[in-house]
Structure 1
Amino acid sequence: MADSGSDGGYDADVIVIGSGFGGSVSALRLAEKGHRVLVLEAGRRFTPDTLPKNSWHVRRYLWMPRLGCHGIQKITWLGRVVVLSGTAVGGGSVVYANTLYRPLDAFYTDPQWRDITDWRRELEPFFDQAERMLGVNPNPTTTYSDEVFRTVAEEMRVGSTFAAAPVGVFFGRDGSREPGVRVPDPYFGGAGPARTGCVECGECMSGCRRGAKNTL
């Protein structure tokens, strides 16, 4: 972008489109290297008071500007594929279901790329870092539906595949459960925002209004 008050220079070295998982991390790393970074985001910065209370709060939940909806969830139809993406500061991290799985073995051994490199060794450090930054831990809550899944898995003799979902949610300090308790940043030595223990309200996909879900 040209600076009208300069002699033809630019007021940003790099322009990043979107502030979600890819955009926010790219902007951070570029800024850490001393580059002047401009982030462009279609959506606004939502607060606990402006996030939709649920997905039925259409004007704040869906992104359909022509219909007067300027929410967090954009739905794009591409032929036979439907793409769900976020439109807010934080992008898809605001509206995703906070499940953060690592690839299964089949991913690493796919014949299309398995011979290029040792993908598990290459990617492991980055998965470790992403999990640390996003505060990944197993969901400590087991519901009736979970028990049904466990029972079915055992009946199919694949009981070992049942496990709690890895989620990017703050439940409490040191592995404890502290629902509704607000504490100073527990992840980055106090440099990040305060967090509040998850109260299991189920509003993860319409934007966490309590500060338990770890977004960007």
Structure 2
Amino acid sequence: MEQKKRTNVHYDFDFIVVGSGFGGSVSAMRLSQKGYSVAVIESGKRWKSEDFPKSNWSLNKYLWMPRIGFYGIQRLNLLKDFFLVSGAGVGGGSLVYANTLYVPGDKVLNSVTFKKLGGKDKILPYYSIASRMLGVTQNPQLYESDFILKEIAEDINRGDTFRPTPVGVFFGEKPGKLTKDPFFLGEGPDRVTCNHCGG
């Protein structure tokens, strides 16, 4: 059967971006800046501060498992070779990543998966770019939870691996101070320095 060529087809959008996390939101923004009409599709809702679960035990608000009526922020997928954790809701992974921005160690970077992506030398420069753009720095304060993790690491003879968490948080000189953009030559939005409310 011969297919007829479709002409004069009208689409509602030039591009559809699946996911509103870091990659999806930036892709949508860049396409929009170029004048394209863009739709962003997300699997969860828009979360307000008061909507977030008070603890991980509020399973219906914490886990994304629609089949059993859980519409939370954390999606879990067990795949053949790894366990994938991602965010569900407007903002995607930014809802759940807790500002932590680790660079994988040599064992991961030298793995078959990373070699398929071009290897350590090809990938690491992108971590550097992302770190600069996100303002990655080490958390300057340790809290009770950090000391517990350090103690556990020492108990299993891995104390040498403990270090302050690398985070995408702007600490600045004083907590809670409005400051001009420090990351994009002043062209980004003003920032309020961290007031350490999560410690």
TM-score (norm 2): 0.70
**What's 1:131 paired with?**
131
**What's 1:209 paired with?**
none
> Match of 1:28, SS?
helix
What is the Cα-based RMSD across aligned positions, in Å? 3.6
Any unmatched runs of 5+ in structure 1?
1-6, 203-216
Please list the CA deviations of residues 28-85 of structure 1 after superposition, one character each: whole Å capped at 9, or x if unmatched.
3333333322110011111212222221223322222233322111223446754322
> Match of 1:11, SS?
coil
> Match of 1:25, SS?
helix
Matched, 1:144 2:138: no
Alignment of 1:64-213 (within 5 A): 64-78=65-79, 81-107=82-108, 109=110, 119-120=120-121, 122-142=122-142, 143-145=146-148, 148=151, 163-170=163-170, 172-173=171-172, 176=173, 178=175, 181=176, 183=178, 186=181, 187=183, 189=186, 191-192=188-189, 194-195=191-192, 197-201=194-198
Larger RCO (CA under 8 A, 6+ residues apart):
1
> Match of 1:49, SS?
helix
Percentage of pairs with the same residue: 40
Within 1, Cα distance between the matches of 2:64 and 2:108? Answer: 33
Contact 2:108 2:114 in 1 (8 A): no
How many residue pairs are counted as aligned between the two chains? Answer: 187
Alignment of 1:23-62 (within 5 A): 23-62=24-63
Within 1, Cα distance between the matches of 2:149 and 2:35? Answer: 47
> Match of 2:76, SS?
strand
Compare 182-191 and 21-30 and name the one that shifted more. 182-191
Within 2, Cα distance between the matches of 1:59 and 1:98? Answer: 23
Are residues 89 and 196 of structure 1, via their aligned partners in 2, closer, same or farther at CA, if it must alter by over 3 Å? farther
Please list the CA deviations of residues 143-165 of structure 1 after superposition, one character each: whole Å capped at 9, or x if unmatched.
43465478789x98x95x65322
Are residues 132 and 34 of structure 1, via their aligned partners in 2, closer, same or farther at CA, if it must alter by over 3 Å? farther
Any unmatched runs of 5+ in structure 2?
1-7
> Match of 2:86, SS?
strand
Are residues 80 and 41 of structure 1, via their aligned partners in 2, closer, same or farther at CA, if it must alter by over 3 Å? same
